[in-house]
């Protein structure tokens, strides 16, 4: 709703009170001019219009200066009484109407929405549009605002996002309580705004996410779309129209599990990078080979069972419905929460168990019962909701999949730069030793917090100093970027993890690779360290110092000092 | 028949007739122009303005604008009257009266426009 129409709505609702007020004043004023009075010398006298309006004005507003200019006659006093009741009641009515209008929830929500649309239109820095404020949405909003990006949140459930207005976040958050499925609502939330950097579709429904992704792709070509999909068909559908990033939590869970089995160090690195804010490096733990138990033949359970079998393990499935479609032979009936079922599934001889039911309480119970029966089991679990997170942490499983955290982590690391995706996909093709080396290099810069990514381009606009040096024929190796601008022998807590040159990606280029114009680079390292590279990109003197090692001290103070030292010698 | 339309038409028309009644007569003769008629014209004009609030059509906007002009002109006339009689105490000289009546003449024009627009709208409606 537009602001102007809100003003008209206000006046339309105030029509009757205003007319009552005008009429009351008019009648009271008219009456005073007609009432017979006497002046101080006893001559008959009647008020003029001005005097009458003056008396009514201070009477109606309950100020009450008394009887001016002359003492009133009984007739005038009678009329004063009439006007007092008339005007005061008219005022009460008008003010009451204004207050009830202000408290009208429809009017207030219209007012609020108009204010928010205005806020979105006035946005002047890149912002993200987050559709859906569930567990995933909450993590995304928290992480994006802590990086300083304004966020617009759209969720159908108004109560969920109302708390957003009072939360203290690092950047401005605008929340709309509306249905993200409707393209008009997305446009109102700033989809076509030129500062809209990305759309993040993380509602609980695949259908809504799909619609958001389609609308975003059609209405704004330059926007980057991240979408979450649970079913395989929705995943395929989104990928078919070039949604930039589609994350399927089941796929991602299985991918991580597979990495944990085949390349444990790569798993640790990958999990550390793409698990969102507060991700911690998991301790190394070999996934044992042998008999496995999978509890719950859900979408995740089925995928994990297939994966384990592919990796050459024997799998016993425990499911309350052993005759259901797709269940392998020998499926044990039960939920897995009881010791009997687990014993029947030969828990004593098993090496690992996967609790993949869709109920978190069951999953926890399975973990605890299984550990009790066989303390050496490798415990993997699925954590469906975020509300029981503390319990899962206390249960200390060896491998946890938390869908909302997995999704948020997947999207968040890719939000920082478009080079993260090629970096991760080439990383996943490498072997475990490579990952171990890279992990060791990154761990030199930080102990626990996951590395922050930052992308850059070697061009005349983004890196003028380096561009000039390259044009002058100077060779600028990659290591120049990583030297500390204050002290060239020290190293910034950063690594160049990807260099893209002519559509070709070089993973972790060596320190002596020379930069070329048009190169794009991806840095990973300690938070906010990437800002310090800027000096080398923009300042010729700092670049020269970093390249050659000499500080050309051409400032006035330094020249004076040089002169005096010459004299001394 | 719509009671709302009757009330609306009534006030718009009454604003015009009262205004015309005040305007009628020699321009500089105070005897021809009654203060109560000016007061009534102003009050009815204000009510007509409030009634026009919230009309979202293009015609409604022009009606509201003309009504605001009426209010402005009549308030100016009333102010001139009050200042001349009570503040500076020059009284209703022909010069003062002429300026009051000419201000109300401007308001009359705007009121006339309101009525013409209203008539046009009604005519357009029946077609």
pLDDT in tens, B52-68: 886 767 888 889 999 99
Identify the sign of the CA torsion B58, B61, B65, B66. positive
Residues in contact with A468: Cβ distance below 8 Å, sequence separation at least 6, in sequence order: A540
Q: Note whether A228 and A202 are within 8 A (CB).
A: yes
DSSP string, A486-525: TEEEEE-SEEEEEEEETTEEEES--TTPBP-TT-EEEEEE
Report pTM. Answer: 0.73
Q: Note whether A155 and A132 are within 8 A (CB).
A: yes
All structural domains of chain A with their residue ranges: 3-103, 123-247, 263-415, 448-548
For residues B34 and B23, what is the distance between their CA atoms, to the nearest angstrom?
10
User: Which pLDDT belongs to residue A563?
Assistant: 61
For residues A138 and A202, what is the distance between their CA atoms, to the nearest angstrom?
10
Give chain B's contact residues with A (Cβ, < 8 Å).
Answer: 35-36, 39, 43, 46-47, 50-51, 53-54, 56, 78, 81-82, 85-86
DSSP string, A117-172: HHHHHT--S-EEEEE--SHHHHHHHHHHHHTT--EEEE-S-HHHHHGGGTS--SS-
Q: Determine the distance in angstroms separating the CA of A53 from the nearest CA of chain B, rounded to an integer.
A: 11
Query: Is domain A123-247 annotated with CATH 3.40.50.1220?
Result: no
User: Which pLDDT belongs to residue A152?
Assistant: 92
Place of tokens 């994350």: A247
For residues A457 and A463, what is the distance between their CA atoms, to the nearest angstrom?
7
User: Which pLDDT belongs to residue A11?
Assistant: 81
Residue among A9, A19, A49 whose CB faces B39 most closely? A49
Q: Residue B120 sits in which domain range? A: 3-126
Alpha helices in A61-104 (DSSP H): 74-103
For residues A208 and A218, what is the distance between their CA atoms, to the nearest angstrom?
15
CATH number assigned to the domain with residue range A448-548, chosen from the 4 options 3.30.70.1450, 3.40.50.970, 3.50.50.60, 3.30.2130.10: 3.30.70.1450
List CB contacts (< 8 A) between A30 and chain B: 36, 39
Q: What is the mean pLDDT of each run of 10 residues along chain A (569 residues)?
A: 67 87 94 91 90 91 85 91 92 91 85 86 90 90 88 88 78 88 90 91 92 92 91 89 88 89 90 82 85 90 90 89 82 86 88 90 91 89 85 86 87 88 89 89 82 87 87 86 83 88 86 87 85 81 80 54 59
Contact criterion met (CB < 8 Å) for B54 and A23: no
Alpha helices in chain B (DSSP H): 3-23, 35-52, 58-82, 94-126
Best of B39, B60, B89 to disrupt the A interface by mutation (most A CBs within 10 Å)?
Answer: B39
CA A352 to centroid of chain Cα atoms: 36
Both tokens of residue A115?
């204010």
Q: What is the pLDDT of residues B83-110, one digit of tens each?
A: 999 888 888 999 999 999 999 999 999 9
Residue among B43, B78, B86 whose CB faces A26 most closely? B43
For residues A159 and A105, what is the distance between their CA atoms, to the nearest angstrom?
14
CATH number assigned to the domain with residue range A3-103, chosen from the 4 options 3.30.300.30, 1.10.287.70, 3.20.10.10, 3.40.50.2300: 1.10.287.70
State which residue of chain A sits closest to B64, comparing Cα positions.
A8
Residue among B47, B81, B82 whose CB faces A22 most closely? B47
A173-176 and A151-154 beta bridge pairing = parallel
Both tokens of residue A71?
């003492």
Residue among B51, B54, B86 whose CB faces A48 most closely? B86
Look up the CATH superfamily of A263-415: NAD(P)-binding Rossmann-like Domain (3.40.50.720)
Asked if A85 has any chain B CB less than 8 Å from its own CB, the reply is no
Q: How many domains would you assign to chain B? A: 1
For residues A193 and A501, what is the distance between their CA atoms, to the nearest angstrom?
31
User: Which pLDDT belongs to residue A1?
Assistant: 47
User: Which pLDDT belongs to residue B13?
Assistant: 94
Q: Determine the distance in angstroms separating the CA of B97 from the nearest CA of chain A, rounded to an integer.
A: 16
Residue among B53, B81, B82 whose CB faces A15 most closely? B53
Contact criterion met (CB < 8 Å) for A5 and B56: yes
Of A420, A410, A356, nearest in space to A229 by CA: A410
CB contact residues (below 8 A), chain A span 475-514, against chain B: none
List CB contacts (< 8 A) between A51 and chain B: 86
For residues A192 and A300, what is the distance between their CA atoms, to the nearest angstrom?
37
The residue count of chain A comes to 569
Instruction: Give the A:B interface size as CB pairs under 8 Å.
Output: 44
A37-38 and A44-45 beta bridge pairing = antiparallel
Contact criterion met (CB < 8 Å) for B54 and A15: yes
User: Which pLDDT belongs to residue A554?
Assistant: 54
């Amino acid at each position: 709703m537009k602001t102007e129409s809100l003003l008209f709505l206000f006046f339309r609702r105030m029509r009757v009170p205003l007319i009552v007020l005008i009429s009351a004043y008019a009648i009271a004023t008219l009456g005073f001019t007609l009432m017979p009075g006497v002046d101080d010398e006893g001559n008959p006298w009647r008020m003029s219009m001005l005097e009458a309006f003056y008396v009514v004005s201070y009477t109606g507003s309950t100020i009450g200066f008394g009887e001016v200019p002359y003492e009133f006659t009984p007739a005038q006093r009678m009329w004063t009484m009439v006007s007092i009741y008339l005007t005061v009641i008219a005022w009460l009515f008008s003010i009451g109407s204004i207050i009830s209008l202000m408290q009208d929830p429809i009017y207030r929500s219209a007012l609020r929405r108009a204010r928010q649309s205005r806020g979105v239109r006035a946005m002047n820095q890149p912002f993200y549009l987050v559709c859906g404020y569930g567990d995933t949405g909450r993590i995304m909003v928290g992480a994006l605002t802590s990086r300083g990006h304004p966020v617009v949140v759209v969720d159908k459930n108004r109560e969920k996002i109302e708390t957003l207005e009072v939360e203290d976040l690092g950047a401005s958050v605008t929340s709309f309580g509306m249905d993200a499925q409707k393209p008009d609502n997305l446009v109102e939330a700033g989809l076509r705004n030129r500062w809209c950097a990305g759309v993040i579709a993380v509602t609980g429904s695949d259908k809504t996410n799909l619609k958001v992704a389609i609308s975003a792709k059609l209405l704004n070509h330059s926007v980057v779309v991240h979408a979450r999909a649970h079913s395989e068909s929705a995943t395929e559908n989104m990928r078919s129209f070039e949604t930039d990033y589609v994350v399927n939590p089941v796929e991602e869970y299985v991918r991580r599990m597979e990495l944990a089995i085949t390349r444990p160090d790569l798993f640790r690195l990958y999990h550390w990078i793409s698990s969102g804010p507060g991700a911690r490096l998991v301790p190394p733990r070999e996934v044992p080979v042998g008999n496995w138990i999978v509890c719950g033949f859900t979408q995740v359970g089925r995928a994990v069972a297939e994966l384990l079998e592919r990796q050459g393990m024997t799998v016993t499935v425990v499911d309350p419905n052993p005759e259901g479609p797709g269940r392998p032979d020998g499926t044990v009936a039960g939920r897995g929460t009881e010791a009997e079922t687990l014993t029947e599934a030969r828990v004593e001889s098993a090496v690992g168990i996967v609790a993949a039911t869709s109920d978190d309480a069951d999953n926890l119970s399975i973990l605890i019962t299984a550990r009790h029966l066989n303390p050496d089991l490798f415990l993997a679990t699925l954590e469906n909701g975020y509300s029981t997170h503390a319990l899962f942490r206390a249960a200390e499983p060896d491998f946890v999949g938390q869908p909302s955290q997995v999704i948020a982590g997947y999207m968040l690391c890719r939000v920082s730069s478009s080079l993260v995706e090629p970096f991760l996909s080439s990383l996943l093709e490498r072997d475990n030793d490579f990952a171990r080396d890279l992990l060791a290099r990154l761990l030199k810069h930080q102990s626990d917090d996951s590395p922050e990514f930052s992308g850059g381009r070697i061009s005349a606009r983004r890196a003028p100093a380096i561009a000039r040096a390259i044009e002058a024929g100077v060779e600028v190796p990659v290591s120049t970027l990583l030297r500390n601008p204050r002290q060239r022998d020290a190293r910034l807590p950063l690594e160049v993890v990807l260099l893209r040159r002519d559509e070709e990606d070089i993973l972790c280029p060596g320190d002596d690779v020379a930069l070329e114009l048009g190169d794009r680079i991806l840095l990973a390292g300690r938070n906010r360290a990437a800002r310090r590279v800027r000096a080398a990109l923009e300042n010729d003197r700092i670049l020269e110092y970093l390249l050659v090692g000499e500080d050309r001290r051409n400032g006035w103070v330094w020249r004076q000092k040089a002169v005096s030292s010459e004299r001394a010698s | 028949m719509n009671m709302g339309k009757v009330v609306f038409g009534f006030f718009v028309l009454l604003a015009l007739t009262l205004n015309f009644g005040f305007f009628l007569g020699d321009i500089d003769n105070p005897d021809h122009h009654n203060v109560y008629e000016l007061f009534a014209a102003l009050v009815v004009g204000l009510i007509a303005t409030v009634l026009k609030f919230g009309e979202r059509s293009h015609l409604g906007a022009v009606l509201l604008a003309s009504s605001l002009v009426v209010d402005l002109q009549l308030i100016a006339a009333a102010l001139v009257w009050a200042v001349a009689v009570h503040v500076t105490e020059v009284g209703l000289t022909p010069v003062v009266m002429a300026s009051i009546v000419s201000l109300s003449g401007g308001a009359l024009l705007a009121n006339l426009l309101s009525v013409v627009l209203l008539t046009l709208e009604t005519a357009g409606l029946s077609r």
